[in-house]
Structure 1
Amino acid sequence: MLCPSGYFPLQKAETCIQTLQQWGYVVQVGKTIGLQNHYFAGTDEERLHDLQQALNDPHIQAIFCARGGYGLSRIIDQLDFTAFIQHPKWVIGFSDITILHARLQRLGFPSLHAPMANAFNDGGVEGASVQSLKAVLSGQPIHYCLAPHAFNRLGNVTAPLVGGNLTIIAHLIGSADSIDTTNKILVMEDVGEYLYNVDRMLIQLKRAGMLQNLAGLLVGGFTDMKDTTIPFGKTVEEIVREHVAEYNYPVAFHFPVSHGEPNLAVKLGVSYHLSVCENEVVLKEITESM
């Protein structure tokens, strides 16, 4: 467990550490848990060293990121994935960890967009989010059946899942880690953004050619949204619907990935069958036995 981005107090990680141990995992706590350099979990050099050490260690089976926030883009280009490629492992997290997910997608390795340490606090251990992570780590294939939404666009598709935090997806455009969305199911969520900025980021994705050729779109939670003094005049759902109205791929709103609850674990970089019907939405992982 480590913090490659924002500061996270050690005491807030204790419930998560204890729970992972109860699940049977040996938890190695990185030096960046509880380490603080202003906003960050240590200096760039300290966070880089901690993450690089975890990527290199062949005995580590998963890198659990305790918090997102901001900071990975400051060190991503200094990371060496040579040892990771020889001994791949799960990278777990969301939000700013989308940068790591994007790099792994480019390298051809799956990763886990999943709850982080805070989700284990306040009685969350038995909640759907944390339990979904436990299920995935134990080897259960993902199979989620969800309620429909009035804005959904119906359809069926089989394709790999990519994406994560919308701000980070937009942030990566033009970089070596820009996400290839062609013939992919894109999942996106965000927190604390102004409505006009969500509109602007979707226009940026559209102008970069990232919305035109999707196989499907999963619109997750957009929590704690903000509006301007003069209201923008549309909800997040209406903004998204407007920007994808000209396309014909299936779209599912209120997919349960979010900075709030629920935030179910999903594997990025693996293929799923997505079925958006009038009465339900089904996301089912494609396994070798299928």
Structure 2
Amino acid sequence: MIAPLQQGDKVGIVATARKISLPEIALAIETLKAWGLEVVVGQTIGASYNYFSGDDALRLQDLQQMLDNTEIKAIICARGGYGTTRIIDQVDFSNFRIAPKWIVGFSDVTALHSHVHTFGIESVHATMPLLFGKEGSEEAKNTLRCLLFGQDVSYTAAPHVFNRTGTAQGQIVGGNLSMLHTLTGTRSDISTAGKILFLEDLDEYLYHIDRMMVHLDRSGKLGRLAGLIVGHMSDMRDATLPFGKDAYEIIAEHTGKYTYPVCFGFPVGHEPDNLAIACGREARLTVSERGVTLGYV
């Protein structure tokens, strides 16, 4: 169990994927300081190597130093993009496994969430410093603060026509659909059996969503779930020849043969209302005709 943050704790900000400048996270730094935290900015912030926040060696070194520094109580990834899987197999998690600390982020950071879940360690799927200034992100930041400081948090969502009612309990796992698909068969791959899986994605062709859902099903990731949460499927694209279904219709089709509860339209993913989720924590999902509730047990 990771200890909740306390006033005065140090937290590190790193960029394990796409590059980002210091001015882009200035508001986030001020916000974290207002929460009573001391912010340590990693070497990758402001670094540049083509698309990435420094070459693989720098990004690996920056993350490794934050993992090994016992004064750092949480590691917050500045943004997503692509690049974490390029370095994750070279990361030494030995010290982290002895003295775990919070890892925070979403999108490409799903790779880190999944990897540490294989150790049985919790992490926080949540908004990132790049997005702290987005209109409508207040609840996302508030739920992140609550989880980091050990405060109770629960969530609600409106009914959706594709919802399947019921109650599920299990560890909550998941994140970006494309990343979960990419991690299949690697050391970062997770078991979903008996768990509540949540999915979100951005900027994908609809036939890609279908292909990834087929793959999740064929690889056994869907059949033995306790429950499924479908978040934002933002800025989906269609090919010249229309696929004929939207992302929610595709997911509903591939999970329709199962009986576990499913909710759609949950506020998680690539939108400002990206509520923080404690990956690996025991949770209870209730889907009724009146709406959806999610809480930790």
Stretches of structure 1 lacking an aligned partner (at least 5 in a row): none
State how far apart, in whole Å, the 2-side matches of 1:198 and 1:79 are.
30
* CA displacement at 1:142 relative to structure 2: 2.6
One of 62, 73, 82 as aligned partner of 1:70: 82
Alignment of 1:76-87 (within 5 A): 76-87=88-99
Q: Secondary structure at the match of 1:163?
A: strand
Equivalent residues, number: 285
Stretches of structure 2 lacking an aligned partner (at least 5 in a row): 1-12
1:171–1:18 CA distance, 2 compared to 1 (3 A): same
State how far apart, in whole Å, the 1-side matches of 2:159 and 2:117 are.
29
State how far apart, in whole Å, the 2-side matches of 1:205 and 1:152 are.
20
Q: Secondary structure at the match of 1:45?
A: helix
State how far apart, in whole Å, the 2-side matches of 1:211 and 1:57 are.
38
One of 110, 117, 126 as aligned partner of 1:105: 117
Bigger proportion of residues as strand: 2
TM-score (norm 2): 0.94
State how far apart, in whole Å, the 1-side matches of 2:200 and 2:276 are.
13
1:205–1:122 CA distance, 2 compared to 1 (3 A): closer
One of 264, 282, 286 as aligned partner of 1:275: 286
Measured against aligned partners, the alpha-carbon deviations of 1:80-118 in whole angstroms (never above 9, x if no partner) come to 111111211000000010000011100010000000012
The match for 1:258 is 269
State how far apart, in whole Å, the 1-side matches of 2:247 and 2:183 are.
21
The match for 1:173 is 184
State how far apart, in whole Å, the 1-side matches of 2:31 and 2:284 are.
31
- State which drifts further: 171-180 or 45-54: 171-180
Alignment check: 8 A CA contact 1:113 1:268 kept: yes
* CA displacement at 1:145 relative to structure 2: 1.8
Alignment check: 8 A CA contact 2:202 2:270 kept: yes
Q: Percent identity over the alignment?
A: 46
* CA displacement at 1:122 relative to structure 2: 4.2
Alignment check: 8 A CA contact 1:94 1:116 kept: yes
Misfit runs of 4+, over 4 Å: 122-125
The match for 1:19 is 31
The match for 1:247 is 258
One of 70, 92, 96 as aligned partner of 2:104: 92
CA RMSD of aligned residues (A): 1.0
